[in-house]
Chains A and B, each alone.
Chain A
Amino acid sequence: MAGSRFPLWLGVSQPRVEDDRLLRGAAKFLDDIRVDRALEAAFVRSSVGHARLLKVHAAAARAVPGVAAVFTHEDLRPVLTYDRIPLALPSNAIHFDVDPPPLAYDEVCYVGEPIAVVIADSRAIAEDAAALVEIEYDPLPVVLDPRDGIGRDASKARLDCPNNLVARHVIKYGDGPTAFNAAVHRVKDCFRLNKGGGHSIETRGVLARVDGEGRMTVWDSTQMPHRAKAVLVDVLGLSEERIRVVAPDVGGGFGPKAVFHPEELVIPAAALKLGQPVKWIEDRFESFTATAQERLQIWDMEAAFSAEGKLLAVKGQLFHDHGAATPYGVALPYNAATNFIGPYVLPAYEIEILMCLTNMVPAAPTRGAGRPQGTYVMERLLDRAAEELALTRDEIRRRNLIQPQQMPYSVPVVMRDGTPMTYDSGDYPEAQRRVLAATDWQSFPERRKAVRREGRYIGIGLSNYVEGTGRGPFESAAIRIGPSGKIMVSSGATAQGQGVKTMLAQIAAGVLGVKPENIHVVDGDTDATTLGLGAFASRQAVTAGNAIFLAATRVADKARKMAAHIIEASADDLEFSGGRIVVKGAPDLGIGLGEVAKALSGMPGYSIPGGLEPGLEATVDFQPGTLTYTNGAHVAEVEVDPDTGKTTIARYVVLHDCGTMINPMMVEGQVLGGIVHGIGATLLEWMRYDEQGQPATVTYADYLLPTSDVIPRIEIYHMESPTPLNPLGVKGAAESGTIGAPAAIVSAIEDALRPLKVRIRDLPLTPAKLRTLIAKARETELRQ
């Protein structure tokens, strides 16, 4: 579908229009925005994991010179419509809503939960005063484990909830019991993946200002300004025309900034109360307990295989750490449980998802949004079965991969939007074949043996994955050409580094025959687009990309018709070139886009020629029918030092298929970035809490992010299986790197340590943990 019709602008690694100002330090991130008389805020946060909140003593803080106010829930409640922020996404699975309060009252449920906000002349003074606020707590037991937390003897994570089982959902299809009875081999295991965060280098922040006419502008380092506005309209009780939310330059998102956090309400509320602008910039220490994180899940799974190693059925339980409030509904574990199926034929599946309320920061998507966990578990089960059945790991996968002739392939699971889960396009066996061909997979056993004689341990690992992308319900894009010839694009899409402006400009410029840098793009501003959603779930190339393509095409068609009328040529003989519409083969015969726009803008008293409607503009809210599935395969080569437990990734190769690529350079950037998040989650990143619910990792000295010296050069190979589900044939690319990485790396580590028979289950796999596994394996061997 794509490719033949599309001219040269698709598949071009167009240099980014964003880069120049970023390189000069001329960007305007939230803390770069200057607003007169802005006060600065610092939050007083819970220092205990769970307690009744008895009293907040703020008098000493209020008395500090330079402090304008100290607000608690009680102080802000008069300007709010509710006690809680209505964030819960609808779901039949949820037993009870756990909407967060903007500031805690009665009860605090996680270390870091905001209790009060200090507003002062400077952040430094606000912090001085915040240190003087005394809180009286009546400590309560904490719930920290998502499995224990729904056990019979578990204490309550929240007094205001009936129990800790926020949601229970069963995904079930096929005849599991029969399949298990028929199984020749069963693999049973339990996996624990630990908590981690997105950790964009820019933290969160909010700046709110009410102007002289009572209109509020909120600059918010968010991925979803329209949603933020909707919440503010609802909870501040202000009508739509009185609020504007703008996402300025945003320094990375990765999921946490897609979630509405309490501070995004408290700061505007404070600005309203004080009648003065208020700014809050999250500091890094805060971010460890104030910003949503995820990944803590326990999977207790069993898989049934035939004698030939074909999957017959899987059953199990997924215990998901939901955190202390619901910013994001069931999406995370649902993604995980469905992505578990991967590109494989799974005839029967039954998984019970149990979402457990805990006394830790609320769980909301970080890159991958649950999908990496699902892929990890499936790939581990396949590796296990391969070992027991004496099949190679690539062969067992080959036997289970969905074949290209089976596409589109329907999995009997119903998605959140009510549509059945359907893999629309992709050639999974070919993807695996190509990635293996690009590596030393076949000859690796020889190399591994040779290297072992030197006393070194190397291994190679493989993973396959799919990713449902392009989540709806829609995204907006509008294009307008003015009489000056300037092309203006606006979209509900938002940018945190993925190159949204370049993508939109590249498409629009391609259709209209201009240079992308001459197109003015506005994104992430609720004044520029009335409807929009924003960045999450690898969706914007699909949704906004197609929206702008359709809008630009509509505008191009209209411009052509108008130009045909004006220069008296046939519309079919016209083409776009250099900002003009010209006769093919006779470029002197033509008219500028601006002139066309002018003609369409009307002269008083004269009708628009050609019977056309006024204006050279179009708005499209593109509604993807359902998710479109990106797929790929990763191969990792590692070296393990069994004496220290340290893993070095020596080589990394990925085959990636996201359908039509609009800008291959940017696609690769997403894949690379995603893989590094995955490497972090596998080997380094571990958000730890102690038994009292106190976070143990609250600086970058404790919480380790991947640095350039621990990442190998990553080789990317592309396949393009365009999707039939949208005009451009594109699929999302932003998270797939993260989804495939943990499984490939762990597969390689187990491969390296095969003679020691090490079994890896839990992540992250720190050196100490791997050492323990090695030591135990050696002990077991000595005893045998």
Chain B
Amino acid sequence: MKPAPFEYHLPSSLGDAVKLLDTLDDARILAGGQSLIPMMNLRVVTPSHLVDLGQLSELCGINETASSLRIGAMTTQRQLERSELVRTCCPLLAAAVEHVGHQQTRNRGTIGGSLCHLDPGAELPVAAAALDAKLKVVGINGPRALRFEEFPDGYLTTSLDPGEILTEIEVRKAFPHEGHAFIEFNQRNADFAVVSVAILVTVVDERIGQIRIAVGGVSYAPIRLIEAEAALAGNSADDQTVDTAEEIASAVPCQGDEVSPAEFRQHLCGVLVRRALKQAIERAKAA
């Protein structure tokens, strides 16, 4: 399983990377390589050019603002996992990263790479959806910003223009009285999720304030359960509300495959939303 031949480019600045991608035909960005290289080894993709962002230190790092964390796209999952900042300011992201692959893949895999690859079983896109992450991209026409919900465009496809590079992911810090939960279903602990659920919920005076529910594995990209969010906001944070959430979640239209058919995923969606919501509410009450 050797990849098809390609030309390798190692730009030393973001500007050079952008220029390169603008001029090269049939080029792919190489970040951590944990998703791209298996596909290339299998010859599922055969790009003529690889542009390695490994030298772009400006794309690494986690910076704190008053209300958010700004994470460079080339920050590794391992760095996220070990970051005290992420653990304390954005516990949902910390919880999601724990489920991502194995040590060996987290050492190389990046948050940007995971988001741009957009595997339906991947955890970071689901967390990004729940967090309403803001993305910064740079292309030959300059930088632009977009919200995560505008980012997915199809199966393994983002809305980025060819030649655009994701440079930063900004996630908000946890609100006061906010609880989080990230739960996924798989057969072995480190597998891609069959279905995964990320929930953020604020609870004040026993009532639900803000709530965000994102689900992965039921469609080509994470979906937000907008209907459920609207139905639950303002409700009292009790078992009945959790029942309502499960009911709505079990009716979400799903795509499936032979091992995990749509029906099964739909059912899991309900089960996981129930479990995640319970957990998030408990955490919110304790916060």
Contacts and interface: CB of A to CB of B under 8 A. Distances in A.
A86 interface: no
Contacts of B5: 124, 128
Interface string A105-132: 0000000000000000011100110010
12 contacts: A127-B1, A131-B43, A285-B1, A643-B271, A646-B185, A646-B187, A704-B187, A709-B188, A709-B189, A767-B187, A767-B194, A767-B260
B259 A766 contact: yes
Interface string A683-707: 1101010000000100101101011
Contacts of B191: 704
B261 interface: yes
Contacts of B188: 684, 704, 706-707, 709-710
Given A285-B1, A684-B187, A709-B188, 7 more contacts: A283-B1, A643-B271, A696-B258, A706-B188, A709-B190, A766-B187, A767-B264
Interface string B184-221: 01011111101000000000000000000000000000
B264 A771 contact: yes
A81 interface: no
Interface of A: 122-124, 127-128, 131, 283-285, 643-646, 683-684, 686, 688, 696, 699, 701-702, 704, 706-707, 709-710, 766-768, 771-772, 775
A162 to B, nearest CB: 33
Nearest to B271: A643
- Which 3 pairs show the lowest CB-CB distances between chains A and B? A124-B2, A768-B264, A283-B1
A710 B2 contact: no
Contact of A683 (B1, B187, B190): B187
Given A643-B271, A766-B259, A699 B187 contact: no
Interface of B: 1-5, 38, 42-43, 185, 187-192, 194, 258-261, 263-264, 267-268, 271
Contacts, number: 65
B268 A644 contact: yes
A119 B271 CA distance: 54
A696 B2 CA distance: 21
A462 B180 CA distance: 42
Contact of A123 (B2, B187, B271): B2
B131 to A, nearest CB: 26
Contact of B259 (A122, A646, A768): A768
Given A123-B2, A131-B43, A699-B42, A768 B260 contact: yes
Contacts of B38: 699
A122 B263 CA distance: 47
A684 B259 CA distance: 10
B60 to A, nearest CB: 28
Nearest to B121: A701
Nearest to A127: B2
Nearest to A772: B264
Q: Which of A709, A771, A775 has the most B CB atoms < 10 Å from its CB?
A: A771
B258 A644 contact: no
A80 B5 CA distance: 36
Given A644-B185, A646-B185, A688-B258, A707 B43 contact: no
B217 to A, nearest CB: 13
A698 to B, nearest CB: 9
Contacts of A701: 192
Given A123-B2, A768-B264, A285 B187 contact: no
B187 A710 contact: yes
Nearest to A690: B258
A684 B188 CA distance: 9
Contacts of A696: 258
A676 to B, nearest CB: 13
A16 B190 CA distance: 33
A214 B3 CA distance: 36
A273 to B, nearest CB: 24
Contacts of A766: 187, 259-260
A283 B38 CA distance: 13
A285 B259 contact: no
B111 to A, nearest CB: 21
A644 B265 CA distance: 9
A284 B264 contact: no
Contacts of A710: 187-189
Contacts of A122: 2
Given A283-B1, A688-B258, A707 B185 contact: no
Nearest to A698: B42
B36 to A, nearest CB: 14
B172 to A, nearest CB: 31
A376 B100 CA distance: 36
Contacts of A646: 185, 187
A683 B4 CA distance: 36
A305 to B, nearest CB: 36
A554 B188 CA distance: 53
Q: Which of A123, A645, A686 has the most B CB atoms < 10 Å from its CB?
A: A645
A644 B271 contact: yes
Nearest to B257: A696
Contacts of B261: 768
